Amino acid sequence: DAGITQSPRHKVTETGTPVTLRCHQTENHRYMYWYRQDPGHGLRLIHYSYGVKDTDKGEVSDGYSVSRSKTEDFLLTLESATSSQTSVYFCAISDDRANYGYTFGSGTRLTVV
């Protein structure tokens, strides 16, 4: 979707190294989310943000941190990557009005070796 971009699209990293994934939006939406998608588990929420510098944990937040210093950018950091964090990561945005759905980015495929 043109209003939300993720970078990088693909990344291979070694166990124990830090990794940062970026989500950028041009829609000026208040809410931003990071999900991971794994076979057998579906989509699970890692962290979300409800405004600049306002973030909270999702259901699978261990090993991840996030930051949002600007409305348009939401960063997901793996402080010390592990093989269990090999996954496809999706960013999503939404407004807080009930008639807004979620818009997803194209995803980042992360492999930890």
Partner 1 sequence: KQEVTQIPAALSVPEGENLVLNCSFTDSAIYNLQWFRQDPGKGLTSLLLIQSSQREQTSGRLNASLDKSSGRSTLYIAASQPGDSATYLCAVRWGNNDMRFGAGTRLTVKP
Of 98 and 113, which CB lies nearer to partner 1 in the complex structure?
A: 98
CA dist 74 and 54 (Å) reads 11
What is the DSSP secondary structure assignment for residue 51, as one 8-state letter? E
In the complex, least distance from residue 31 CB atom to partner 1, rounded to whole angstroms: 6
Q: Say if residues 104 and 1 touch (Cβ distance below 8 Å).
A: yes
Which member of 34, 68, 105, 110 binds partner 1 (CB under 8 A)?
105
68 CB burial (10 A radius; 0-12, 13-18, 19+): buried
Of 40 and 113, the one with the shorter C-beta distance to partner 1 is 40
Taking the CB of residue 37, how many other CB atoms lie within 10 A of it?
Answer: 14
- For residues 36-95, which are near partner 1 according to CB under 8 A? 42-43, 45, 48, 50, 56, 90, 94
Which residues contact partner 1 by CB under 8 A? 1, 31, 33, 42-43, 45, 48, 50, 56, 90, 94, 96, 98-99, 101-107
